[in-house]
Amino acid sequence: MSNVRFMQSQRPTPLPAQSIVAFVLLLFCATLVPAAVSPPIEPREDLYQLAQSSLKDEAAGVQPQKEQVERRYRAWITHEWFMWWRNLVLLGVSIVAAALVLARNRWGPWLVIAACGYVLVISAPPLVRMSVDGGFFNLSSILLSSGIRYHGTFDGLLLFWHVIIAPFAYGLVAIAAAVLLLRGYTRGGKHESNP
């Protein structure tokens, strides 16, 4: 009888659901690290040249005025800064959300849902629009092959993740966090929770 008890005590215990949600969220937000670590570099000569050539193409070969180039360049740099701040905040919120979920704090799942919802709001509409225009599997194939060809394997896969996979992945994490809320996973169940 003691051997049976010993064998039962040696059985691996399943990983708690909140640990899985926190780990998966941290894994997903790790793809934000390359974009969040280094802020945009200024001045960017390549971006300035791109602004100039795009305006020249739009004007059918006519050289654009310096003010026009400056204005477009500034708009693009502003957008890069916005994207950097957005990635940095999302990374920070995701880390805090994962920590709160691991601590079984009642606000953890809500913060996970908020972070995932934000990702869905910014990434799902473009994916739906592009999928309607060209077909989801066609879009996926083109994005993966051209992303790797023009940006290298790592950046190409990151691009594929952010455009194609992220909406589905973050949606599943949000659903898992909602299930945690419904199950009342905090200490003491529904009767008691951490502040």
pLDDT tens digits for the chain (195 residues)?
555 554 455 555 556 888 899 999 999 888 888 878 888 888 888 888 888 888 888 888 888 888 988 999 999 999 999 999 998 999 999 999 999 999 988 899 999 999 999 999 999 998 898 888 888 898 889 989 998 888 889 888 988 988 899 899 999 999 999 998 888 754 444 444 444
Look up residue 85 and give its two tokens. 């701040």
Sort 7 into a burial class: Cβ within 10 Å, 0-12 / 13-18 / 19+: exposed
Beta-carbon neighbour count of residue 30 at 10 Å?
11
> Where are the domains positioned within the chain?
24-183
Name the nearest CA neighbour of 18 among 170, 174, 180.
180
Q: How many CA atoms lie within 13 A of 125 on its CB side?
A: 4
Chain position carrying tokens 């009342």: 184
Report DSSP state, residue 63: P
Res 195: pLDDT = 46
Between CA 55 and CA 148 the distance in angstroms is 28
Rounded to two decimals, the pTM is 0.74
